[in-house]
Amino acid sequence: MDFRNILFDVNRYDVEELYQAANLISSVFALDQRVSAGELMGRLWKLAGGLRNLSRDEFRQFAA
């Protein structure tokens, strides 16, 4: 089989742009960046409002 890989360097994305995108993938990228525990909690709080707009299936995917 011939597999191709696509590398997404999530640390290169500006967190404010990820917040503005307000979708499932941008939320995951914002949380997957290398940050301190305190910054991670702040990001979770900031993303919480947008996560309410996810469909039930999207939220299950996010939670997993």
DSSP H/E element including 32: helix 24-32
| Closest C-alpha to 11, from 36, 29, 38 | 29
Q: Are the C-beta atoms of 43 and 30 separated by less than 8 Å?
A: yes
Are the beta carbons of 46 and 38 closer than 8 angstroms?
A: no
Q: What is the largest CA-CA distance in the chain?
A: 43
Confidence of residue 64 (pLDDT cuts 50, 70, 90): confident
Is pLDDT above 80 for 1? no
With beta carbons less than 8 A apart as the criterion, state whether 30 and 15 touch: yes
| The overall pTM is greater than 0.85 | no
For the chain, give every domain's residue range: 14-63
